[in-house]
């Protein structure tokens, strides 16, 4: 696993538009009619481009339910192509494997930082850390399962989270570049960060997996608030 770029093996082949919201008990699956033109949908006013490094569909559902109009693009899509789509925000998805070999994504994120609000989950979180000039490392024991306690440092609230990763961001390598926003209460590893001076944040865990079950849903709304400016 170390040194292997697995994102390129699982990413989509071409861009696509996502139109499904989160499942609801009284409604079930909710499909939204696709746009008929390049304009904005009033029910989903925030245009988001989501990089697919191995994206989970429930993340896309969470973004749509938060008011985002989501277009998914392959992992290798250039920063210039993404910016040409004029999104309000850019999402960096989860994915498998070691983040360090995914050099094309790191370079693209560097070009996107400060241009548009960024939100990363899991591998996207690690890639953001590397794009800032930080370091990642392989955990002796990976974090796996749906009962991982994480504290939001801004509210001191504890979230029960779902996790499935073997690498982590080295917080010491990001001093002056990013602030610790979430911490793992089992081993004190970084679970989230906010970039200093730029509209970008990320978490290591999976808010869409609902282990809490809704402890971490606020993160999608936090991204929307960032896009509102």
Q: Please check whether residue 68 lies inside any domain of the structure.
A: yes
Q: Please check whether residue 129 lies inside any domain of the structure.
A: yes
Annotated catalytic residue: which of 100, 159, 191, 208?
A: 208
Q: Please check whether residue 65 lies inside any domain of the structure.
A: yes
Residues 6+ apart with CB under 8 A from 24: 30
Q: Between residues 216 and 127, which one has the greater pLDDT?
A: 127
Taking 80 as the threshold, does the pLDDT of residue 27 lie above it? Answer: no
Annotated catalytic residue: which of 100, 122, 159, 191?
A: 122
Whether 68 is catalytic? no
HSE-up of residue 172 (Cα within 13 Å, Cβ side):
2
At residue 38, the pLDDT reads 54
CATH number, residue 26: 3.40.50.880
* Residue 113 belongs to domain spanning: 7-228
Long-range contacts of 174-180 (CB under 8 A, 24+ apart): 174/129, 174/132, 174/133, 174/134, 177/132, 177/133, 177/134, 178/129, 178/132, 178/134, 180/153
Domain count, the chain: 1
Q: Please check whether residue 1 lies inside any domain of the structure.
A: no
Q: Are 195 and 201 in contact (CB under 8 A)?
A: yes
Q: Please check whether residue 23 lies inside any domain of the structure.
A: yes
At residue 85, the pLDDT reads 96
Q: Please check whether residue 2 lies inside any domain of the structure.
A: no
Whether 206 is catalytic? yes
Q: Please check whether residue 96 lies inside any domain of the structure.
A: yes
pLDDT band at 106; cut points 50, 70, 90? very high
Whether 159 is catalytic? no
Percent of the chain with pLDDT over 90: 76
Q: Please check whether residue 36 lies inside any domain of the structure.
A: yes
At residue 40, the pLDDT reads 62
Cα separation, 88 vs 107, in Å, equals: 20
């Amino acid at each position: 696993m170390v040194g292997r770029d697995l994102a390129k093996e699982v990413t989509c082949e071409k861009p696509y538009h996502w139109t499904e919201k989160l499942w609801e008990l009284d409604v079930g699956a909710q499909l939204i009619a696709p746009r008929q033109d390049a304009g904005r949908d009033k029910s989903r006013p925030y245009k988001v481009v989501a990089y697919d490094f191995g994206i989970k569909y429930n993340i896309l559902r969470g973004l749509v339910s938060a008011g985002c109009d989501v277009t998914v693009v392959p992992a290798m899509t250039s920063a210039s192509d993404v910016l040409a789509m004029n999104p309000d925000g850019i999402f960096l998805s989860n994915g498998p494997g070691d983040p360090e070999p995914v050099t094309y994504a790191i370079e693209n994120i560097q070009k996107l930082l400060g241009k548009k609000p960024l939100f990363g989950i899991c591998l996207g979180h690690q890639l953001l850390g590397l794009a800032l000039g930080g370091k990642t490392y392989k955990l002796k024991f990976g974090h796996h399962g749906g009962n991982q306690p994480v504290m939001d440092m801004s509210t001191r609230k504890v979230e029960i989270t779902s996790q499935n990763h073997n690498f982590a961001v080295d917080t010491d390598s990001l001093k002056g570049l990013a602030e610790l926003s979430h911490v793992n209460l089992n081993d004190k590893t970084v679970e989230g960060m906010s970039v200093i001076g730029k509209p970008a944040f990320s978490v290591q865990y999976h808010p869409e997996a609902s282990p809490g079950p809704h402890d971490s849903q606020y993160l999608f709304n936090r991204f929307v608030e960032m896009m509102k400016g």
